[in-house]
Amino acid sequence: MHKNPYRYIDTEILGIRQETANIKTFTLRPVESIPFRAGQFMDLSIPGVGEAPFTPSSNHKISDKIDFTVMAAGRVTKLLHALSVGDMVGLRGPYGTVYPVNEWKGKEVFIVGGGVGLAPLRALLYALFNNVKEYKRISVKYGSRTSKDIVYRNEIDSWKRSDNVDVDVTVDVGDETWKGNVGIVTTIVKNPGFDMGSAVSVVCGPPIMMKFVTFKLIDLGFKPENIYLSMEKNMSCGIGKCGHCRIGPY
């Protein structure tokens, strides 16, 4: 018999952390281990309601617990936000393409995130931090709408203290509590002081943000083939049947 590709694994909600007014991080424990790698995504199911695709935001070396950072935006995500610790959801996957982090060793890695787009990049950052000294430099540029919309605020402060890592954060709209840069994320995407011709960049955020960040990166000297974009917004079934992953002829 063929394996059912839509089968999901029962998963318990172990913890819920409020990141912003409409973003929560869920720590889930599947009844069986689900190995994944940074860059892959999974479909999260609420039985009887529906499912939606999300990228794990935790360290892939820990497969018995998986974090997902989710914005309440649609029917499934709003109902997910209404769940409590101890409730059960389903996971299936992983799907998608793995970031080739081993090929990046010895190179500079330039990461740009916008809003909740930092969530998929968190798994990538953990993958890089696991062997941080094997990369020349890791630069992180992150933008959010306001200071209240910054996800992983405490973790970002710890990243700034890491060796071989530099982090810049900006907000679109400042207030009296914000002492950092004010402006869209492209305002902090500047010459990082290394050879952009051999460097790698990874971008995740709203599509319009990724578009203009890509233009900026190319202007800075990054090669198009070294720029990775997370297009998970288009994903749905995960196995190429529904057609949502299609971008033109791809």
Q: Which two tokens stand for residue 232?
A: 């998970």
Q: Which sequence spans correspond to the domains of the chain?
A: 9-95, 101-233
Cα end-to-end span (Å), the chain: 31
- H-run or E-run covering 112: strand 108-114
Residue 11: other Cβ atoms inside 10 A = 24
Class of residue 132 by CB neighbours under 10 A (exposed 0-12, middle 13-18, buried 19+): middle
| Helix, strand or coil, per DSSP, at residue 203 | strand
Torsion of CA 17, 163, 59, 101, to 10 degrees: 140
Superfamily of domain 9-95: Translation factors (2.40.30.10)
Q: For residue 115, what are the contacts with CB-CB under 8 A and spacing of at least 6? A: 143, 144, 145, 149, 151, 205, 206, 209
Q: What is the pLDDT along the chain (250 residues), one digit of tens a residue?
A: 458 888 899 999 999 999 999 999 999 999 998 999 999 999 999 988 889 999 999 999 987 899 999 999 888 999 999 999 999 999 999 998 899 999 999 999 999 999 888 999 999 999 999 988 999 999 999 999 999 999 998 899 888 888 889 999 999 998 888 988 999 999 999 887 777 888 999 999 988 999 999 999 999 999 999 999 987 667 788 888 888 888 788 7
* pLDDT at site 233: 63
CATH number of the domain at 101-233, please? 3.40.50.80
What per-residue confidence (pLDDT) applies to 1? 43
| pLDDT of the residue at 67 | 96
Residue 42 near residue 49, CB atoms below 8 Å: no
pTM of the full predicted structure? 0.90
